[in-house]
């Protein structure tokens, strides 16, 4: 956990000499959620149409399983809207000669069980793992989802996590973000990795409205925004994750 109190602290001390306000008033505690340095974003979809398999479950196994955590630092591996982010705990660090592996197993009623080996390497801090599951007996080839369009105007999204009962608290999440155009009813697509609350992208079109989604601590976090300028500050209610800090 990190607390950032900027250089304005000196100015706050001076102001406190001339006022009755507390020196700590209006100071926010900023928490960085980047606690797992090597992570994998796992997304599970129906191989035939890209939708979310109902009641899909994930289990993590292998020699490194005891040191694999959900991105919040807990051991609750739940697929939320078909996604979960896992990562290596501090006891394990991959090296060039010794990568770390684990196995993700996906089960869902009516679907063939799927397994995938996930490898954490020293040169890759983040990775995307797409796992398509096929219905039992299906012979339909897996669909290929096209990449989202690229637009000429870059957009910077600044996500700020908030806690309902902590007005002095601000969370700068480091998570993977999904998106889709609002009202499209299309499956979410991967937008990018948000590093300490900031994400730069060229896949958002001006004048369009988008739903943004991520998962943290087994909960779905989402926000909607119409894109009409080059940067936005968006608020994410961090829900029960606030009790972790």
**Is pLDDT larger for residue 245 or for residue 147?**
147
User: Cα torsion for 7, 30, 25, 15, to the nearest 10°?
Assistant: 10
Q: Of 101, 133, 165, which residue constitutes the final position of a domain?
A: 133
Q: How does residue 33 score in pLDDT terms, banded at 50, 70 and 90?
A: confident
The three-state (H, E, C) secondary structure of 7-61, written as one string: CHHHHHHHHHHCCCCCCCCCCCEEEECCCCCCEEEEEEEECCCCCCCCCCEEEEE
Residue 232's domain spans which residues? 155-244
User: Do 128 and 169 sit in the same domain of this protein?
Assistant: no
Q: Please tell me the distance from the alpha carbon of residue 61 to that of residue 187, in angstroms, as a whole number.
A: 28
pLDDT at 5: 35
Q: Which pLDDT belongs to residue 235?
A: 93
Same domain, 47 and 128: yes
Q: Is residue 96 part of a domain?
A: yes
- Mean pLDDT for the stretch of residues 205-232: 96
Report the number of distinct structural domains present in the chain. 2
Q: Do 170 and 105 belong together in one domain? A: no
Which residues on neighbouring strands pair with residue 205, listed in sequence order? none
Residue 25 domain flag: no
How crowded is residue 235: how many other Cβ atoms within 10 Å of its Cβ? 12
Of 103, 133, 163, which marks where a domain is finished?
Answer: 133
User: 104 and 188: one domain?
Assistant: no
The mean pLDDT of the chain is 88
Residue 150 lies in a domain: no
In a domain, 195, yes or no: yes
Whether residue 13 lies inside any domain: the answer is no
User: In terms of domains, do 98 and 164 share one?
Assistant: no
The Cα–Cα gap between 159 and 171 comes to 9
Which of 102, 133, 164 is the last residue before a domain boundary? Answer: 133
Q: Are residues 123 and 46 in the same domain?
A: yes
Among 61-75, 93-107, 162-176, the minimum mean pLDDT is found in 162-176
Residue 15 scores a pLDDT above 90: no
State whether 180 and 110 are in the same domain.
no
**Is 115 contained in some domain?**
yes
Residues 44 and 125 placed together within one structural domain of the fold: yes
Same domain assignment for residues 186 and 126: no
**pLDDT over 80 (residue 212):** yes
> What percentage of residues in the chain have a pLDDT greater than 90?
73
- What number is the average pLDDT over the span 236-240? 88
Q: Give domain status of residue 212, yes or no.
A: yes
User: For residue 6, is pLDDT > 90?
Assistant: no
Residues 125 and 202 placed together within one structural domain of the fold: no
What is the per-residue pLDDT for 170? 87
**pLDDT per residue as tens digits for the range 63-95:** 999 999 999 999 989 999 999 999 999 999 999
pLDDT band for 9, please (50, 70, 90 cuts).
very low
Give 35's pLDDT tier (boundaries 50, 70, 90): confident
209 in the same domain as 129: no
Average pLDDT over residues 115-125: 97
Q: pLDDT-derived band of residue 22, with 50, 70 and 90 as boundaries?
A: low
Residues 126 and 160 in one domain: no
Give pTM, 2 decimals.
0.84
Has residue 146 been placed in a domain? no
**CATH number, domain containing residue 124:** 2.60.40.1120
């Amino acid at each position: 956990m990190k607390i950032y109190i900027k250089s304005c602290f000196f100015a706050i001390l001076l102001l406190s000499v001339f006022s009755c306000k507390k020196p700590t008033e209006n100071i926010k505690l900023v928490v960085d959620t980047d606690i797992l340095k090597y992570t994998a974003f796992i997304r599970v979809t129906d191989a035939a149409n890209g939708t979310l398999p109902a009641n899909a479950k994930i289990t993590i196994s292998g020699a490194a399983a005891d040191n694999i955590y959900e991105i919040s630092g807990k051991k609750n591996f739940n697929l939320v809207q078909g996604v979960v982010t896992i990562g290596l705990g501090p006891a394990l660090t991959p090296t060039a000669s010794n990568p770390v592996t684990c196995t993700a197993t996906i089960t869902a009623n009516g679907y063939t069980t799927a397994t995938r080996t996930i490898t954490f390497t020293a040169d890759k801090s983040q990775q995307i793992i797409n796992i398509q599951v096929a219905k039992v007996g299906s012979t339909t080839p897996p669909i290929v989802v096209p990449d989202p369009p690229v637009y000429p105007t870059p957009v910077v999204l600044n996500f700020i996590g908030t806690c309902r009962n902590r007005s002095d608290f601000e969370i700068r999440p480091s998570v993977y973000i999904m998106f889709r155009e609002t009202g499209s009813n299309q499956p979410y697509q991967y937008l990018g990795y948000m590093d300490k609350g900031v994400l730069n992208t060229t896949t958002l079109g001006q004048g369009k409205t988008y739903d943004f989604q991520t998962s943290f601590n087994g909960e779905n976090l989402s926000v909607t925004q119409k894109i009409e300028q080059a940067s936005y500050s968006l608020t994410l209610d961090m829900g029960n994750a606030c009790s972790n800090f």
